[in-house]
Structure formats: C-alpha cells, structure tokens
Structure 1
Amino acid sequence: MTNDILVVTTENIPGRQYEVIGEVFGLTTQSKNIMSNIGAGLKNIVGGEIKDYTKMLIEARDISIDRLRTNAREMGADAVVMMRFDSGDISNDMQSVAAYGTAVKFID
C-alpha cells in the first residue's frame, strides 16, 4: 500500500499550509463469481446481509483509495484533501467505486 500520502475528508489539515495541485482519483470495478451471485439471490428471498458483496465493496474501497494515493504521488502531492467516495452498479453483478479528492503540496 501507499500510505505515505495523507488522505483526509476535511477541507483543511490542521497546522499545515499547502498549495492545490489538482484533482486526483482512484477507480475500480469489482464483480463476484457465479456462486456468490447464486448465494446473493437466495439471501434476497430470506433477507439479511450479503457478506460476499460487503467484502467486495470493502475491497473495492481499499483499492480505490490506494489508486488515489498513487495518482497523488505521481503528481508530486503530499496529501489529498476533501476525499469522497462514489459508487454505482454497472450491471446486476458489477460495482464501480471511485475515490476522489484534491491533491495538495505542503509549503510549510
């Protein structure tokens, strides 16, 4: 992982001055295998959490943040502020997750 880039959801980093470099993002699209889809269909009948899909979304979130950090590092950033997530279905069994924010360079 590339944890050397600070990622925050706030607009400011307390005690730090920085200049804005530009927008950065990390994107991934995930899908589960056919057996997971069958299990999810059965769970739909009885209700409850579909744990394979929850795991898939956690993995997608982690991958998108890692790619966000990589994008920021390539731009010469020290941190990303105002990080947000967006997600959506591509089809019945595919989920896209994007992490995005503003890359900044410390000046203090």
Structure 2
Amino acid sequence: MTNLDDFGGGQHSTEVLVATTNDVPGYRVDRVIGEVFGLTVRSRNLGTQIGAGLKSLAGGELRGLTKTLVESRNQAMDRLIDQAKARGANAVLAMRFDVTEAGGNGTEICAYGTAAVISPVG
C-alpha cells in the first residue's frame, strides 16, 4: 500500500490559502501584495533514470520519477507559501506550476501566484 502523498499532493499550510482561482468565494481581496514564487531544481538520480529507461521499454508509469516530481512540486509550494507569509499575505491567488528542463542537468519546478490579503465577506 502506498502513501497518498507519495503520488499526489496539495496544500498542507493552514496559514496561507493557496488557490488556482482569481478569487475565493465568500472572501474579498483587501490588498494585493504582488507576485510570489517558490523554486526548486532537482538533478536526475542515476538509478531512477536507469530504471525509468528500462520501464519505458515495456510501458507504464515511471513511479520513481512521479514520486520525485511530487516531492519537488511540494517543496516549490512550501517555498511559495513561505514567501507569501514573509510579505504579510494570507492567500496566494491564481497559483500555477511551471516545469522546465534546467540546462539538461535537471528539472526546474516553479510555483507562482499573486500574494494577497483576504478576509471573509460579511
């Protein structure tokens, strides 16, 4: 049995709400602070790469690479949240991920969005 967090993820912080939407139902945006991002670059693991190469011959999910990408996205998200908190935000709106090759040596994962202060309507 695998841990749910091994192959998926999401927000773990309760201090900063992260949403992919531009607004949050039931909340108003009191102040927009600006862009924030969290970044990580991961090098390739030789053992994982060899295993992935062999697995790709037979087809199927590359579970080692999937797990590494999940860990990387979660790290980028944690850094995004730290940046938002440091700037006084309690929310990040319009959050997105960007994943690119980093000079052929690894993978760059960036979580970015708009830091804001929100409060409940009413």
- With normalisation by structure 2, the TM-score equals 0.80
- Which residue in the other structure is 1:21 paired with? 33
1:46 matched to 2:66? The reply is: no
CA contact (8 A) 1:26 1:67 kept: yes
Q: Structure 1 length normalisation: TM-score?
A: 0.89
**1:31 Cα deviation (Å)?**
2.6
Matched to 2:33, the amino acid is I
Regions of 4+ moved over 6 Å: none
Residues paired across the two proteins, number? 108
Distance 2:96 2:119 in 1: 24
- State the superposition RMSD in angstroms: 1.7
Counterpart check, 1:74 vs 2:112:
no
Q: What secondary structure does 1:13 align onto?
A: coil
For structure 1, the 5+ residue unaligned runs are none
Q: Which runs of 5+ in 2 are unaligned?
A: 1-11
Q: In 2 relative to 1, CA 89–32 (structure 1 residues): closer, same or farther, beyond 3 Å?
A: same
Q: Percent identity?
A: 44
Counterpart residue identity of residue 27, structure 2: R
Q: How does 1:1-108 map to 2 (within 5 A)?
A: 2-18=13-29, 19-92=31-104, 94-106=106-118
